[in-house]
Copies of this chain bind each other. A is one copy, B any other.
Amino acid sequence: MSTQPALVALDWGTTSLRAYLVARDGAVTNRIERPLGILNVPQGDFARAFRDCVGPWLAAHPGLPALASGMIGSRQGWREAAYVACPAGIDALAGALLEVDAGAEFRIVPGVSVVDGDGVPDVMRGEETQIFGLDAADGVAVLPGTHSKWVLVEGGRITRFATFMTGEAFAAMSGHTILGRLMTGTGHDEDGFARGVAHGGRDAAGRGGLLHRLFGARTLGLFERVPGHALHSYLSGLLIGAEIAEARAWLGRPPAEVAVIGAPALARSYAAALGAGGITARIAPADAAARGACAIARRAGLVA
């Protein structure tokens, strides 16, 4: 039957470990989330963290292969999996899985690298697996977060991508600059967010760019043009609006539709910000990482 477990998929990042029991058809039949990100694994004993997390699944289904994506394949992870260079399709990823001696069949999906128009390298680990978990990978996808990624997929291959420090810049600017002082709350304020998006994404000619506009989050508060409880959302919108404007310029032409892969609340915010700019957001199904791991495992012959 199709719900017979065929794979243990692991989305193993910096702060958390998400494990999925996946059926042959890609359906997730069980899931576990642990705060065992690669920086939090006791004594760096990844094999033990792996067993502690999914041991019962392996005991119930002996010989089940495991496939992990994310920072687990970085220098700070279990073992470093070399990046696959763009353009990178699912065949290239499936052909470069890194086997690790884990007391079970355990492989790591390699990350993907690219060199941008300035000659500066960019990298991803984990997002490539989520991309191939989309129903139709071709097109433009955004994976919002601490380090937001925009990815262009053409002909089933990731042809290029770019990382934007939006989430981390937001945390640093709201938590460690004067901008946080006038904020009287952190709840989502729809109007404040929309005003920030509009301001951050506006054509910059003759108006100053992001470094100038950030200061506007101070003066709009000082002059009580944006209320204190809305400033947090205003700043978030300002940065997300700036990211979308940068990404549009990076793409060369605005996409009609963008797939958004992320946690529900953040995905909704991005959908709203994209919609304000006339771009349709297609919220990706949950568990894209598990679905992508299953697709890669199938291509590698690990899952029939």
Contacts and interface: CB of A to CB of B under 8 A. Distances in A.
A79 interface: no
Interface string A197-214: 001001011111111111
A49 interface: no
B211 A239 contact: yes
Nearest to A247: B208
Contact of A211 (B210, B219, B222): B210
Nearest to A251: B206
Interface in A232-257: 239, 242-243, 245-247, 249-250, 252
Contacts of A166: 211
A118 interface: yes
B118 A164 contact: no
A116 interface: yes
Interface string A142-170: 00000110000000000000111110110
A283 to B, nearest CB: 22
A303 interface: no
Per assembly, the copies of the chain total: 2
Contacts of A242: 209-211
Interface residues of A, number: 52
Interface in A166-196: 166, 168-169, 171-173, 175-178
Nearest to A123: B219
A250 B215 contact: no
A208 B249 contact: yes
A120 interface: yes
A215 B163 contact: yes
Nearest to A219: B121
5 contacts: A165-B212, A172-B173, A207-B250, A210-B211, A212-B250
Q: Which 8 A-B pairs have the closest CB atoms?
A: A172-B172, A117-B207, A120-B216, A209-B246, A164-B211, A163-B215, A165-B214, A208-B250
